[in-house]
């Protein structure tokens, strides 16, 4: 938990919530990363299994996963390669297209490329290639605001992605053990789903969509499952989607370590499927240990 990324504060909230949930089920928990470097904490504690509650860089980009694999410590969530892919919105977007998923029209602007004018008419979404929690993201119209938004995104990453703003319903699809949970609809009170809208109480309303209703939501669930698989994710992920006015689910990104307090979007979806938050945390630990056992069996039979 914690770690060095711009999402440290949110990671600490996730870590504390997970620690409390696991302790309520009798698990012995050490919190690593709040008061020391993660690597040093791992070497000191040597956990039997690591619950990765690190958001953003270092946590979601494959770095801590590589660190854990070097130490032969089982860990929750996706592996090194899937984590790297998902964290890089540009590489992930290419995988989505290869998998036949719809994505908003977009353009990549390289580190040395001149910004110029917006590539699409109307509002555009400007985002750094490798940040989470909408950090560095802007929704703008007009050339002057567009150039300012690109400059802000470049403060976080040299390479940026510009996409046409897609009107429609903002959804998130949680995937657990490669199967979609109930869809959650996101309704920001004003503007887009910004960092402030995500983490300030009262700025966003969330609605869990009952299963088996509108076909459009089933298509969104299928898109979430396919996006998860297209990146090679393991155990769980959360895919952000715009359900366009044309009824098409447009995939925006996959989060391999989504927020994980009992009020976060993934646990909301799990609760709607009858999985209590502590049991969800235990399940992810069990899946981590199962994968580690499988790896050991593979290595033993080489």
| Residue numbers annotated as active site | 7, 133, 199, 238, 240, 253, 255, 259
Say which residues have a Cβ less than 8 Å from residue 94's Cβ, sequence separation at least 6: none
Say which residues have a Cβ less than 8 Å from residue 266's Cβ, sequence separation at least 6: 174, 181, 236, 238, 258, 259, 260
258-278 burial: b if 16+ Cβ within 10 Å, else e:
bbbbbebbbbbbbbbeebebb
The residue with tokens 């928990």 is 29
Sign, Cα dihedral of 32, 232, 183, 104 = positive
φ/ψ region of 182 (left if φ > 0, alpha if ψ in -120 to 50, else beta) reads beta
């Amino acid at each position: 938990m914690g770690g060095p990324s711009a999402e440290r504060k949110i990671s600490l909230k996730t870590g504390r919530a997970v620690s409390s949930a696991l302790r309520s089920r009798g698990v012995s928990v050490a919190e690593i990363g709040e008061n020391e470097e993660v690597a040093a904490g791992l070497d000191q504690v040597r956990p039997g299994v690591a619950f990765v509650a690190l958001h953003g860089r270092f946590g979601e980009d494959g770095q801590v996963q590589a660190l854990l694999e070097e130490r032969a410590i089982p860990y929750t969530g996706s592996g090194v390669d899937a984590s790297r892919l998902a964290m890089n919105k540009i590489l992930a977007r290419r995988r989505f297209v290869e998998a036949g998923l719809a994505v908003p029209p977009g353009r990549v602007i390289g580190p040395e490329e001149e910004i110029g004018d917006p590539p699409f008419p109307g509002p555009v979404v400007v985002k750094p290639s490798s940040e989470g929690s909408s950090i560095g993201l802007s929704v703008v119209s007009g050339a002057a605001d567009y150039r300012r938004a690109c400059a802000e995104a470049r403060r976080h990453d040299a390479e940026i992605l510009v996409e046409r703003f897609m009107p429609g319903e903002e959804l998130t699809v949680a995937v657990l053990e490669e199967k979609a949970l109930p869809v959650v609809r996101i309704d920001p009170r004003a503007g887009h789903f910004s960092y402030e809208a995500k983490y300030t109480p009262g700025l966003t309303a969330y609605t869990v969509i009952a299963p088996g209703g509108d076909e459009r939501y089933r298509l969104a669930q299928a898109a979430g499952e396919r996006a998860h698989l297209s990146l090679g994710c393991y155990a769980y992920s959360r895919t952000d989607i715009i359900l366009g006015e044309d009824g098409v689910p447009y995939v925006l990104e996959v989060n391999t370590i989504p927020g994980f307090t009992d009020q976060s979007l993934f646990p909301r979806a799990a609760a709607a499927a009858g999985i209590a938050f502590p049991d969800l945390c235990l399940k992810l630990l069990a899946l981590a240990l199962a994968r580690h056992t499988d790896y050991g069996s593979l290595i033993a039979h080489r």
